[in-house]
Amino acid sequence: VRQHNIAVIAGDGIGIEVTASTLEVLRAVQKKVGGFELKFDELDYGSARYKAKGSYTPEGWLEHLRKFDAIFFGAVGDPDVPDHISLWDLILPMRQKFQQYVNVRPSAILPGIPARITNAQVGDLDWVIVRENTEGEYAGQGGRTHVGTPWETATEVSIFTRRGVERVMRFAFEIAQKRPRKLLTVVSKSNAQRYGLVLWDEVAELVSKDFPDVKWDKMLVDAMTVRMVSKPKSLDTIVTTNLHGDILSDLAAGVSGSIGIAHSSSLDPTRESPSLFEPVHGAAFDIMGKNLANPIAAIMSAAEMLRWLGENQAAEIVENACKTSIANGQTTGDLGGKLKTSEVTQVVLELIEGK
Ligand code: IPM
Ligand code: MN
C-alpha cells in the first residue's frame, strides 16, 4: 500500500467547512480505489490559534511541514486580524520557504455552468494560468519611513530574479507544449515597469527557443483583461507574475464560472519541498457558518493533489464526480443551484461510491 502523509491546514472561515468536505471525499475515494493510504495530520494553524495563543503556528512549523508529502490548505483570514498579518504569518511563508514557484490555476466553462460572458459557451474557454508564486510583487520587501507624518513614504519593492523568472517560464512553456493547442501568452506590464518586467519578457524570448513548437505571444496585463473577456477562445496557457496572476485568476474564475470552483496548486516542481493545494477563494466571512460555501474548489484542489502524488485514477474519479455534479445542476447558489455545502458533498460522495 502506497502511503501518503498529508498535512491538513483548514485555517479559517469557510476554509474549515470546505476542508471537512474534502477529507470526506478523499477518504471515500481511497476506499473505492484502494492501493494507497492517505494519512492526514490536521493542524490547528489559523486565526483561532492566533487569538488564543498569540501565534498562527507553533515554533518550528515550517520544518515540521517539510516532512509531509503534500499540504492541503483551506483558507486564512479573520475579521479581527489585519489581512497582512494573517497572510504573512501563514500562507505566504509556505509558498516562499517551500519554493512553490508555480501556482497553477486552471479554469474552463464546464457543462452545466451558467453563461457568464455573452458569447462564451462550453469549449470556448479552457485556460491554465501559471502564476509566479515566490517573488515579484509579493517579495515582501520594502518599508515605511516618516510614519504618520505628511512625508511618510512607503515602498513596496518587487523583485524579479533571472532564475525565478526562468524557472516559471520554463514550466509554463512545458505545460503549453503538453496541451493540444500549444499556445502560450506571456503577460507583463513591461511598458511601465521597465526593469523587472523587461527582464520577464527577455527571459520569455530566451526560453521560447527551447520550445519551437509552442506558439506564443506577449500581452500587457491591462489589455489582457479585455482579451480574456472578449476573446476567451484566443487564449490557452497563460504565464504571469505573482500579483498579475492573483488578479487574472480571479477574473478567470469570474468569467468561466465561479470562484467557488476555482482550484489551485502551489508546486515545487523540484519536489525538494512539499507542494500545497488550495482553493483560490478565501475565508469568506460573509457566508461562513451557513453551510453555503461551494466545496468544489477545495475538492478539485485535492484531486490535483492526488495527481501530484501519482494517484491518477483516484484523481480522475474525484474530478469526474465534481464535473458530473455541476453538469447535473447539483450545485450551490454561486452556480445557480439550491444545494448546501453538505448536500453537494453528499452528491460527490455518492458519485464516487457509485450509488
Ligand atoms: C490567492 C489569495 C492569496 C494571494 C492571499 C490570501 C494571500 O488571494 O491565493 O489568490 O493573494 O495570493
Ligand atoms: Mn487571490
Is ipTM beyond 0.85?
yes
- As a whole number of Å, the end-to-end CA separation of the chain is 26
Which ligand has the nearest atom to the CA of 279?
Answer: 1
496557457: which residue's cell? Answer: 237
- Closest atom of ligand 1 to 103 CA is 9
Does the pLDDT value for residue 119 go beyond 80? no
Provide the CA 334 distance to its chain's centre, in angstroms: 19
Number of the ligand 1 atom closest to the C-alpha atom of 87 = 7
Helices (H), the chain: 14-33, 47-53, 61-65, 83-89, 91-97, 162-178, 196-208, 221-230, 242-256, 296-308, 312-327, 341-353
C-alpha dihedral sign at 255, 259, 261, 262: positive
- Architecture per CATH, domain 1-100+263-355, reads as 3-Layer(aba) Sandwich (3.40)
Asked if 232 contacts 123 with a C-beta cutoff of 8 angstroms, the reply is no
For the chain, the domains span 1-100+263-355, 115-256
Calculate how far, in angstroms, residue 21's C-alpha sits from the geometric centre of ligand 1: 21
Query: For 105-114, what is each residue's pLDDT tens digit?
Result: 999 999 999 8
Q: What is the mean pLDDT of the chain?
A: 97
- Same topology between domain 1-100+263-355 and domain 115-256: yes
Q: How far is the CA of 245 from the centre of ligand 1 (A)?
A: 10
Total-model pTM: 0.96
Question: Looking at the CA of 136, which ligand is closest?
Answer: 1
Ligand 1 binding site (Cβ under 6 Å of any ligand atom): 87, 91-92, 246, 280, 282
Q: For residue 36, name the pLDDT band (cuts at 50, 70, 90).
A: very high
Q: How close is the Cα of 261 to the center of ligand 2, in Å?
A: 13
pLDDT at 117 over 90: no
pLDDT digits (tens, 9 = 90+) for 204-230: 999 999 999 999 999 999 999 999 999
Whose CA is closest to atom 8 on ligand 1?
246
What dotted CATH number matches 115-256?
3.40.718.10
Cell (9 digits) for 24:
470526506
pLDDT at res. 355: 74
